[in-house]
Structure formats: C-alpha cells, structure tokens
Structure 1
Amino acid sequence: MWISFQIHNHHYRQTSIVGTMPRISPELHLTLRLPDTDAPLRHRIAESILDEIRVGRLRPGDPLPSSRALAAHLTVARASVVDAYDELCSSGYANARAGSGTRIAPGADVAARAHVASHTVTRTSDRAFAAAPGTPAARWDLTPGHPDPALISTVDWRRAWRTAAAAAVTSDVPSPGAHPELRRSLAVHLRRTRGIAARPSELVIVPGVAAALRTLVAAAELGGRDVVFEEPGYSRARTVLDDSGVRTRSVSVDGDGLDPALLRATDAAAYCTPAHQYPMGARMPVGRRARLVADAAASGTVIIEDDYDGEFRYDVSALPALRSIDRGPECVAYVGTASKILTPSIRVAWVIAPPALRQGLVRALDASGEACCATTALALAHFIDSGALSRHLARASRTYSARRAAFVTALQQQLSAVDTDGAGLAGIEAGLHVVLTLPDSVDDVAVSAELQDHGVTVPSLADYRTTAGGPRGLVCGYARLPESQARGAAEAIGRVVRRHLG
C-alpha cells in the first residue's frame, strides 16, 4: 500500500521493500521514497536507492533486490527497475555481476553523500570525494565506462538543446519509427566514421543499450536459446540478456577477442565487442572478423555487435565494423550508443538489425513502450548536423590519447621498477580503459579492495568473470584522469600491487 507524505517541501511515496538474495542474513530491508516529480520513473527509482545509500541503510557490498522482486513490490514495469539499476551502474554507484546480481559499489556511500542529487542520478566526479569520518577519500576514480562530459563544448551543447526546444510541440506518441531527424543524422555519421552503409529507415532509436538488447532478444526470439557471450565480458549486458530469458554461454576470449571457431551450431546468437573487447581490450583483426561474419551468415546465427567505444583508437588504423563486412547486413545487429562518446545521461542508443529481424524489432519495441525523448533526439541530431559531434570527437580523442599516454607510461614505470613477473598491460590501443593483468596466484578482488582503502576506486576482472578461473587484473578507466594526476594514481596502484606480488 502506498503512503503519501511530505519531506522538505517535496511529496514522496513510501513503500517497504524486502529483497531476498543469496548471502543476506536474514533479509535486506529497504524503505524507498519515490519523488512525485515529472522525472522518468527510472530516475526516481535510482534516486530513492541513492537516498538509502546516503543514510547508510545500503552499504558497499550490499546486494540489491532482484529487478523482478523490486518491480513487483513497487508495482511498476520490470524494465523501469532494470533501467534504474543500469543507471546506478553506469554512474559508478553499483556493480552488476552475472550470477551475483547487482551490488552497491565500493565507495558508493562516500560518493552519494558528497554528490547529493535532487531527483536525477549524476555521475561521480573526477574530484576527490568528500569522505565521511573514518572513511578514506577516493582520490582517484578509475571506474571504466565513463567518458568525461567536461570535454563537451558548452556552447555547442546549449545551442543544440535550444534548437531542439524551439521545435514545434506535437502530440505524436513516441514510436520505433519516430525521430527521423536523428536517424538521418546517424546514417550519415555511421557511414563516415564506421563504414556502415544504412538507410535512415533501417535505424531504430532506443533508450540505451539495455533496451536495445531486450528488444533484440524479443525480435529474434532468443528466449530459452543459447547466446554466446565473451568471457570475461560486459557484465551489465550479460545481466540484461540473462534477465530476458536467454541462456548465455560463456566463451573465453583470447588476444584477438572472440574466436569464431568456438561457436556451435546450436548458438542462436553471439554478443561481442570487436572494436575493443570489454574488458580485456583486444581488437579483433580483420581476418577473424570476416570469418565470424561468414560463419554466422552460413549458420543463421545473429551477431550482436556492441560498438560501445569504437570511435576511440590511438596510433592504430581503423578496423571495419562487423556490420560493414561482406554479408554483415545479413546477420549482424549493430548496436551503438551516445553514452561513451558524450555522456550516459543522454540515454540514446541505436540498432541496425538484419532485414529478417527489422519488423520484429519494431513490433517488440512498440510493445515494450520503451522510447527516447523526442527533444533529446532532436538535440542530438542538431549536435551531429552542426559538426559539433565531429569537433567533440576530435577534441576528446586528443585528450584521451594524452591521458592514456600519461597513465600507461606511469604504470609501465611502476611495473619496471621491481620484479613484476606475470603482470602487464593489455588493451592500450583503443577505448577508454587499460587492463593491468596480474598472475593467477594474485587475488585481484583483494587488490581492488585494498586500493579502495588507499583512495583508488578501480574494479577487478572478477567483476567481469563468471567462474573462479579466468584472467586476474584491474580494469583502469583513464578517461576522467587528468594527466597531472596519472603519476600519483599509478604510484598508488604500484605500491599495492607490489605487496600482493610478494
């Protein structure tokens, strides 16, 4: 039963949530207060969870209720809860691991108290967190997956939104066929930057990668069927697929990413990140890309190509998107997003599906009710058409390249200072993160936890593994790490890593 009351001049609804999860003794009790505002439901759910973190009822390491359980208690669509969890994860307040659900991230309590939001979730800042008494401040947040929004031109950004806001107000209900301006703009952009030839009518705009994956599962009827997933891999994508009813089948990646030789005839689909394998950072070579596409086209397997940060590469040539390879349009569902090139808060992604799936994709998206904000779509279209996106990508690439060079050089100096046999760096040619690999004998979870105690927030590869085996290491995001701070962060990491290497 909903109870309405008022706090600090804002109306709230209160409900008590009990989420039963493994290793909770005996149960996790949440009292969520959903603000009665015009903000999207996912924002309100995420903000209410942040409030629980701020007051200490949720602490780092605590599991959140399953999306199904929380949705049932809130009497809302499960997709809204999943999106709220995705938002918390993308902002660094939570971590999702396959088989373990979603848990509050290390340092989330400090970050939540330091960055009090109103009714929307904001990203954790580059600046040092304001620590609570007895809690070490996180001087360096190396959480991967976060671009630096400060690199976006304020002038260009505001101009795009003013143009969008000046558009005529319509009564059209958002639909999969909506946003023609953005679809036209993206078609030109993708042809120029990723070599993908697609008509605007082939693009479907969705509110985020999670929505794209859910819709593809429905369109391709993947429920109950085997879907290959990279191991280690992007844990949030795996969670979305698992929650959508597919059977994810883990396939270990090598130095070139996903090996097509490991696919089976029974695999209905395969999810992969060929531009910069997440998290290991491999760039799939052209020959392997061609074989993967050819094998998939011959077997009827759908390849889900997540091109999450294909725009950023350093001192290496561009590699073709799977979708652009011969026979790629037959079997590749290309997924792109504005989250990594601009900011996760914009919540816009796009899908180009094989012809056989296109109508099913439209029907599934229409049935789900998931849609992008029309004003947001118009603003992004203007941002692209005006040349602002191209200027931003050029500026961001230069900045990220410099930050990468400073951080990688500093890490290499730390590794060369002592005998660090078995430790190294991977994935430095592209993307916005680098992996500090560790010997199998090292407990990377313990290393990550100790680093948190010493002011460095950086996840271990355990957050992306589904088994006890697999590579060990740290996934270090450098997009928000100023060059002047690279040495300090690397030295802090080096001190802890050397202790664990013995």
Structure 2
Amino acid sequence: MARHSPELNLTLRLPVGESPLRHRIAEAVVEQIRVGRLGPGDALPSTRMLAADLGVARTSVVEAYDELGAAGYVVARPGSGTRIAAGADSAAAAGAASHVRPTAAVTAVPHASGQRPPTWTWDLTPGHPDTALISTTDWRRAWRAAAAVPVPASSGPEAHAELRLALAGHLRRTRGIVTEPDELVIVPGVASALRALTAAAGLVGRDVAFEEPGYVEARRVLQLAGVRPRPVAVDVDGLDPAALRETDAGVYCTPAHQYPLGARLPVSRRAGLVAWAVESGGLLIEDDYDGEFRYDVSALPALRSVDGGRDCVAYIGTASKVVTPSLRLAWLLPPRHLRDPVAQALAFSGESACAVTALALARFIESGALTRHLAKASRTYSARRSALVDALRRHCAGVGLAGVEAGLHLVVRLPDGTDDSAISAALRRRGVTVPPLSSFVAGPDGPRGLVCGYACLPETRADEVAAVVADALRRHFG
C-alpha cells in the first residue's frame, strides 16, 4: 500500500559538482527514494518550502520537480501536491537517472597530424529542440488516448477535426491569431504547405521575394515546385517592404525570428508588407517556425493577425520546434480565398498527415501538456541561451552576437569576406558542429558568421564550447 507522509519536511544532501542546480536537487530526491526514505505515494514538500530549506531560488526547485515528473519519478495533481510515483522505488534501485548525463564521445572525424582528436562532440546545428524535456507521462497519455478511438478512415485535407480545433485555441492564446478550425489545414510538414500554396496561388514560373540569408530548405522546395525565389537582403530589422518589386507574386518571410539572423520584424514593416500584398494582390507566406520562444522581450503578434492579413497572409506553423520534428506535422492557415484550392492541391498530390499522430498531438494540446511543456522548455532554453551568450562574450570579446532575443539559435557575426566555412570545418575537427552563415546565402556574397543552436547544449558545457570557438577564431585570424 502506498505510504502518505503527514510531514513534508525533507532533508536533502545535494551532490557536489558542476551540474545545474535543478539536476542536483533531482538527483538528491532520487537518492532518498533509492535508500527508502521516500516511497511511492509519499508527498514532497512544496517548492517554496524546499527552496527555503535548501537556501536556493524557488525556480531551481520548480525545474527539479518538472524534471522528476518528466522522468516519471513524481506525479503532480491539483489539490494533492507532488507525490512519489508508483514504481519510482524500483527505478531508483535500478539506477535510472532523471536526466541524461553528458558523457564523453570519441569522434571519428579526421584530424591533423600531431593534433589530438576531441574527446567530446557537440552538435550546434540549429533547428533541433531537446526532446528529453517532453513529459513522458503526458506523452504516453496522449498516445494512449489516440489509440483508444476507432481507426481513422481518412487523413485528407478535410480530416483532423480534433487537431484543428485544438490548434485554433493554441494559436489564439500564443500568437494572437483568431481563426475558425475549418480554416486550418493539417499537412505533413512545411515543405508540403509550400508546395500546396505554390499550386493554389499560381506561383509556378513567377518571382517570390525570399529573405537573404534565409531558410535553405524552403528555398529549395519552392525552386523544385517551379517558383523563382528572388533573394532580398535583410537588415537588422528583417525584410524591408521597400525592396519588393511589382514583378513579385509573393513573399516568403520569417517575421517572428528571421532565419537565420534572428531579427524581429517591427510593426511598421509588418504593416508595410500587408499593405503591399493588399495593393498588389501578392501572397505573404509567414513561416512561424519558432514563434513560441521569447526571452526578455514580448512576443509580437503574428503577421497574419495584422489588419488585412487574413486575406493575404498564409500562416505556417510546425510541431518541429515546439515538440519534435519526428511528428511530421505542420499547420497551414491560408487566405480565405485559397482555402479550397489548397485542399484541392493536397488531394491531388496525395500528401496527407498521419491521422493517429494528429490525434495524439490534439490530445497533447487539449490536456494542457503542450502549455506545460512550452513553459518548461522556455525556462530551459533561456538558461542555455544565457550560458552560451555569457561564455561567448567572455571568450570572444569584440565579436558581435545576433538573434539572441528569441528562438533556439544565435549567430556569431564575423567580418564580411571571412571564410566562415573554413572556421566551421576547423571546429568540426575539434568536436563542435556549427554551420557557417554563408551556407544560408544563395549567392557568393553576403554576411559571414557561425549559426549556433543551443537547445541541446547544457549550461555546464557552454564555457567549453565557447573556448573552442574562440580558439578557432584566433587561429583563423592570426
């Protein structure tokens, strides 16, 4: 029978080390379970009480409880606090950790003669969220609910009613977009949305203004679909509507967090883009790939929510950054007059999203799990971003950083003409994979730098990575 402790006092001895405080608190709780001082059903102290006992910030305890919950060690229920989960004692006895501990990994990349190969590797390629942050309890519950219903008979453009309903509420709360569920179209990725828009809006053989530097995969998809992406250089505020031409049939942009430079498109340019589209009849394609993540700044409403945007903005969102790319799910909110042509284009191409996966994501959203996950992920990513920014500023004094206010990556800016590909190759040989900014540019010219994703980089490793980057820069510039 589960035991219920009437007292919530818990004496923890935090392990010594460089691990983040939340990890050490979680490890101390697991140790108490392992030795039998805590068992299934026992109540943990409130986060406020434990923080006071340990003399630490309450945020660290909240994050530790989140970690324990995600690992299945504890269960939090409204009105009954946080309790040790069933089976937690067996997991602790088996040595199951509540988080992934960084381990050394020998790289197989070639190295210069006489130079020792790296003993660890870190992949800073942008666009990869940390899937370890997803609550396994919430994840399993969502998939069990999806598996409990009859097998869906259809997965076409008119299907996925549950997910469209859940997303309509999510977009209203997080992105300021008011839409009816029937206006949304569920697609198996951003590429599918772009192909459908190309066919529905008649963009084949026409110019579409495209951010430079920009999202390489989207540019390639449009090119293969028959569109002519026209590079338009972005500045510190993103894409300038004044750079558009009469021959442009549309615009592809990432206004919430320009990919990859990170600019946030100001309201004046947002209004200017919508005004251009209304006057010219052009299509604005808004790729809101990571609009949920903001640090130290308020989120700007989506371009779609600007007055007039409903008739000219095609909004694209994706589960890739907020949950995981492996879901292969995205959502498209086309202008009203393109809703049916988009559905027809998808029906003709046969591209459709998995109905069971869509239902699982719907349950994940409806249950509040996505909201909890985004809150936890935002705290974690904010801490990792701050650690990397501070470390780069210490080790790479004088080097500019861009795009630090939002998203899951930042850019180390380098002087124009720098061979950033050579620096990237040198870093790869030393165990740090980071793409050069020049790889996001269509032509031979453009800004130079390093695009560093930090979503999966623990705070404790930021200093090491920054030191390697700094050394590579010193060697390159002499």
Scaled by the length of structure 2, the TM-score of the pair is 0.76
* Equivalent residue in structure 2 for 1:451, among 420, 427, 434: 427
Q: Does 1:405 align with 2:386?
A: yes
Q: Compared with structure 1, are the counterparts of its residues 427 and 204 closer, same or farther at alpha carbon in structure 2 (3 Å cutoff)? A: same
- The equivalent of 2:263 in structure 1 is 282
Q: Which runs of 4+ in 1 moved over 4 A?
A: 125-130, 133-138
Can you list the C-alpha shifts for 1:235-272, whole angstroms capped at 9, x where unaligned? 00100000100011000000000100011111111000
- The equivalent of 2:52 in structure 1 is none
- The equivalent of 1:155 in structure 2 is 137
Q: 2-side partners of 1:439 and 1:468: how far apart? A: 15
Can you list the C-alpha shifts for 1:88-118, whole angstroms capped at 9, x where unaligned? xxxxxxxxxxxxxxxxxxxxxxxxxxxxxxx
Q: Does 1:167 align with 2:149?
A: yes
* Equivalent residue in structure 1 for 2:311, among 312, 330, 334: 330
Determine which structure has more spread, i.e. the larger CA radius of gyration.
2
* Equivalent residue in structure 1 for 2:405, among 408, 429, 454: 429
Identity %: 64
- The equivalent of 1:144 in structure 2 is 126
- The equivalent of 1:497 in structure 2 is 473
* Equivalent residue in structure 2 for 1:471, among 439, 447, 452: 447
The answer to whether the 8 Å contact 1:127/1:139 transfers is no
Q: 2-side partners of 1:139 and 1:479: how far apart? A: 15
Q: Compared with structure 1, are the counterparts of its residues 496 and 324 closer, same or farther at alpha carbon in structure 2 (3 Å cutoff)? A: same
How do 1:275-354 residues align onto structure 2 when only pairs under 5 Å count?
A: 275-354=256-335
How do 1:74-473 residues align onto structure 2 when only pairs under 5 Å count?
A: 129-132=105-108, 136=117, 139-170=121-152, 172-416=153-397, 420=398, 423-473=399-449
Q: 2-side partners of 1:439 and 1:181: how far apart? A: 50
The answer to whether the 8 Å contact 1:305/1:333 transfers is yes
- The equivalent of 1:92 in structure 2 is none
Amino acid at match of 1:297: V
**Range that drifts further, 379-388 or 125-134:** 125-134
Q: 2-side partners of 1:276 and 1:128: how far apart? A: 33
Q: 2-side partners of 1:492 and 1:200: how far apart? A: 49
CA positional deviation for 1:133: 8.4
Amino acid at match of 1:149: T
Can you list the C-alpha shifts for 1:129-167, whole angstroms capped at 9, x where unaligned? 553486645611101000000000000000000000111
CA positional deviation for 1:414: 1.2
CA positional deviation for 1:127: 5.9
Q: 1-side partners of 2:281 and 2:424: how far apart? A: 41
Q: Compared with structure 1, are the counterparts of its residues 299 and 127 closer, same or farther at alpha carbon in structure 2 (3 Å cutoff)? A: farther
The answer to whether the 8 Å contact 2:106/2:121 transfers is no
Amino acid at match of 2:124: L
The answer to whether the 8 Å contact 2:110/2:429 transfers is no
CA positional deviation for 1:288: 1.0
The answer to whether the 8 Å contact 1:126/1:481 transfers is no
Can you list the C-alpha shifts for 1:166-189, whole angstroms capped at 9, x where unaligned? 11124x232100000000000010
- The equivalent of 1:114 in structure 2 is none
Q: Alignment length, in residue pairs? A: 372
Unaligned runs of 5+ in 1: 1-124
Amino acid at match of 2:266: P
Amino acid at match of 1:307: D
The answer to whether the 8 Å contact 1:271/1:306 transfers is yes
Q: Compared with structure 1, are the counterparts of its residues 151 and 353 closer, same or farther at alpha carbon in structure 2 (3 Å cutoff)? A: same
Amino acid at match of 2:263: A
- The equivalent of 1:484 in structure 2 is 460
CA positional deviation for 1:463: 1.2
Amino acid at match of 1:299: S
Structure with the larger strand share: 1
Q: Compared with structure 1, are the counterparts of its residues 255 and 175 closer, same or farther at alpha carbon in structure 2 (3 Å cutoff)? A: same
Can you list the C-alpha shifts for 1:210-258, whole angstroms capped at 9, x where unaligned? 1111111111111000011100000001000001000110000000001
Q: 2-side partners of 1:129 and 1:264: how far apart? A: 51
Can you list the C-alpha shifts for 1:337-357, whole angstroms capped at 9, x where unaligned? 000000000000000000121
Q: 2-side partners of 1:331 and 1:133: how far apart? A: 48
Q: 1-side partners of 2:343 and 2:211: how far apart? A: 27
The answer to whether the 8 Å contact 2:123/2:434 transfers is yes
What is the Cα-based RMSD across aligned positions, in Å? 1.4
| SS in structure 1 at match of 2:426 | helix
Q: 2-side partners of 1:373 and 1:213: how far apart? A: 18
Can you list the C-alpha shifts for 1:271-314, whole angstroms capped at 9, x where unaligned? 00000000000011111111111111111110000000000010
Amino acid at match of 1:264: R
**Range that drifts further, 161-170 or 222-231:** 161-170
Q: 1-side partners of 2:247 and 2:149: how far apart? A: 49
Q: Compared with structure 1, are the counterparts of its residues 300 and 400 closer, same or farther at alpha carbon in structure 2 (3 Å cutoff)? A: same
Q: Compared with structure 1, are the counterparts of its residues 414 and 132 closer, same or farther at alpha carbon in structure 2 (3 Å cutoff)? A: closer
Q: 2-side partners of 1:384 and 1:479: how far apart? A: 22
Amino acid at match of 1:328: G
The answer to whether the 8 Å contact 1:260/1:295 transfers is yes
Q: 2-side partners of 1:173 and 1:485: how far apart? A: 47
| SS in structure 1 at match of 2:338 | helix
Amino acid at match of 2:459: E
Scaled by the length of structure 1, the TM-score of the pair is 0.73
